[in-house]
Amino acid sequence: MRIALPAVIDPAAVAAHDPAAAIVDLGGETMGTRWHVRAVLPAGMTVAAVGAAIVARLDGIVNEMSHWSPTSRLSRFNRADAGAWVTLPPDFAHVVAGGLAIAAATGGAFDPTIGRLVELWGFGPTPVTTSPTDFALAQAKAATGWQRLTYTPGDRRLRQPGGLSLDLSGIAKGHAVDAIADVLAQCGVRHALTEIGGEFVGRGIRPDGEPWWVDLEVPPGSDLAPLRIALHRLAVATSGDYRRGAHTIDPRTGRSVANGVVSASVIHADALTADAWATALTVLGPGEGGALATTHGIAGRIVTLIEGVTREYLTPALDTMLTD
């Protein structure tokens, strides 16, 4: 078992933990998957109250950024006239700003504007029975591209250039995990592990003094040595095609990724960043992706399966987290 530890331990969190405290579990459905929280609640706080706060927060995010709901703020932006300026609510604005920054850093390997490509391949709310034609792909690609967006952070306004379709599924879930962790903190919960669909945020420690441990997923049948992360003030997100088949789109080609990457995991201070970078590393592969992650100090692991051989690539930032 390999262990990855954070660079810094919060002494206040260690001092504040109660060895006699109980861990409670909460969960439910959101974003087409499930959310789950393991937490130590402060005295006098009920599970029902915390659960209600979490559900309200998640519902607000879904109402803003769901590409499955025709009434969401995202869907309304996608239908807006060319040249229209739309003022975004804070959550939507935060995700767009983060997505555009990571799109620029990754050369478009992560791109929040691939909505038309997602729909064309049947990964959106409308199923398709055939692969798209080259002509249809060319049309969708022409309407795609993060560089076509103009966003002014001061007033949170986003310009619809015409025909562009946002899809934030590669980053909004990470933001939602961060948002739940923040809701818990606002409720006075200092020690919790939060998860949505395999993406985690860990804050504080367990009552027994241990960190919140999370094992990175590996493809079935892999002989890779297990890698366990101590999620203390950290988040981890994994992008992989081994569960649902090839569903990651390379925004640069408009086609499904076919580079042998079956799993890419990123550890970061926040899940939004981890989520988007995991997608980008899946698209870029171990060569280009590993080099870019090294340049940006991203702690990541890329797993490939090529001709029946599984290989693992760790970035230097993750390698330095491993214990001897």
pLDDT tens over the chain, length 324 residues: 899 999 888 888 887 888 889 999 999 999 989 999 999 999 889 999 999 999 999 999 999 999 889 999 999 999 999 999 999 999 999 999 999 999 999 999 999 999 999 999 988 787 888 888 999 999 999 999 999 999 999 999 999 999 999 999 999 999 999 999 999 999 999 999 999 999 999 999 999 999 999 999 877 777 888 999 999 999 999 997 655 555 789 999 999 888 889 999 999 999 999 999 999 999 999 999 999 999 999 999 999 988 888 999 999 999 999 986
Residue with tokens 């997923």: 217
Instruction: Output the domain CATH number for residue 207.
Output: 3.10.520.10
How far is residue 189's CA from residue 186's CA, in Å, rounded to a whole number? 7
Same domain, 237 and 261: yes
How far is residue 20's CA from residue 210's CA, in Å, rounded to a whole number? 13
Same domain, 247 and 298: yes
Same domain, 45 and 83: no
- Strand pairing class (2-4; 227-231): parallel
- For 230-250, give the DSSP string: EESSEEEEEEESTTT-S--EE
* Domain interval for residue 107: 65-159
Phi-psi region of 107 (alpha: psi -120 to 50; beta: other; left: phi over 0): left
| CB-CB contact of 229 with 237 (8 Å) | no
| CB-CB contact of 103 with 166 (8 Å) | no
Say what the pLDDT of residue 36 is. Answer: 98
| CB-CB contact of 184 with 115 (8 Å) | no
Same domain, 69 and 42: no
Instruction: Output the domain CATH number for residue 105.
Output: 1.10.3980.10
How far is residue 188's CA from residue 151's CA, in Å, rounded to a whole number? 34
- For 241-289, give the DSSP string: STTT-S--EETTTTEE--SSEEEEEEEESSHHHHHHHHHHHHHHHHHHH
Domain termination site, one of 98, 130, 159: 159
Q: Give how many domains the chain has, as a whole number.
A: 2
Query: Across-strand partners of 86?
Result: 158
Q: How many helices (DSSP H) and strands (DSSP E) are in the chain?
A: 9, 16
